[in-house]
Structure 1
Amino acid sequence: MAKGKQDEAWGVFGELLKDRREAAGLSQSELGARVFVSGGYIGLFEQGIRKPQLDVAKRIDEVLQTGGIFERTWRKLINESPYASYFHVLPRSAGAHAYMTGTLKLMEFADAPPTAYTETEYSGTLLDDPAVVKQAQRAYDHLRVAALSPEASLDLIGSDRIGGEDYRRCARTT
């Protein structure tokens, strides 16, 4: 599915969510509180700007009593994603790593040396020192070796194992 079509499909997901939420007589904030996200986040789903995680789609199904519509739609859209092969989950068993608390973007250009951009909770940094960029590339290579394959990553993302039992137990008692 092309990216434009994929975005349209998530927009349809959002329209369906809005219709079902309004039919249930709930505001975005009320639905958000019941599925453990903010009302603003529900609004982003409805606009097709953000995509919910599978556990959120399942909780939406439970609250709106849709018989699994949102879970099935989520699975279909994720499986058809043109980016499905880009997902690499690093399992917790791999232990701590240099980029646990932020992101790393490695960039290569035809007319300039490679650079890296790191972002943490409070700041972002553009790295252009070749030695530092090389270190970032090596750190990324180590992460890729420890990560799951794209197929195993998608299986894990689509399973109930992310968040684990602790999260579901907490959600039921709240």
Structure 2
Amino acid sequence: MANIRDLDPSASPLDYYGSELRRFREEAGLKQGELGGCVFCTASLIGQIETARKVPTRDFSERVDAALGTGGVFSRLVGLVLRSQLPSWFQAYAEMEAKAAYISSFQAQLVDGLLQTEGYARAVLGVRNGNNLDAKVAARMERQRILEREHPPLCWVVLSEAVLHQEIGGRMVMRNQLAHLLGLRRREWVKVQVLPFGAGAHAGLPGSYYLLRFDDDPDLVYTEDFVQGHMTANPQALREGSLRYDHLQAAALSVEDSAALIARVLEERYGHHPESDGHAVA
């Protein structure tokens, strides 16, 4: 029999998810292996999730809901579980990001987290420590679900040209990431501009940052250092952040010219050939 440990459902979203999975499975009269067979995974994985030793994915949760007829219980719970896997200092920002009507960011070194592919995110998050990497990547991918909503936020990102050339995760990962950025042109609520090297000294030299605007809450500025994040609604900080962003957008290439530069770097640096209409080949 699989090793079963007592869970305190109130200890964390992951513990609550595990205890609910065990409860629903036992009420259905299924052993771990039998449920595993229904959702195309091993009994061991079921046991690890039930004992809060493994973080479930959204795909797993949807399959469990279908197999156990839960009415979407686990599909709803998994969002809380994945958010809890974010760094504690980042969780408050993630909650506000999910409520924002307008998200604008300047990124000096990396593709914005909302626009990263899974491979790129895995390379970034695993650069120092590979522990719990699957959960970290799943949590980052979960954040991106706000762009899939019926009424998504407008997301405007200015990337330093350096981001296109910094090879994160290898050539294939970068090829897929830049192709993904080009594919985002099909989403009218996502806009990407590139700040070219030719811009010289610019308003973003102090570093990357985010501006969040809301329908019913005060606007926010968010910055990070290598230890933690800093979020403020201070009017002076908002004024400075907004002014700097206006200057960055003015210095950056247009959305159309930015896409052309991304396509050129994709072809010349990473060996990818866009289609004749400028859209990247998948």
Query: Normalising by the residue count of structure 2, what TM-score does the alignment of the two structures yield?
Result: 0.32
Structure showing greater radius of gyration is 2
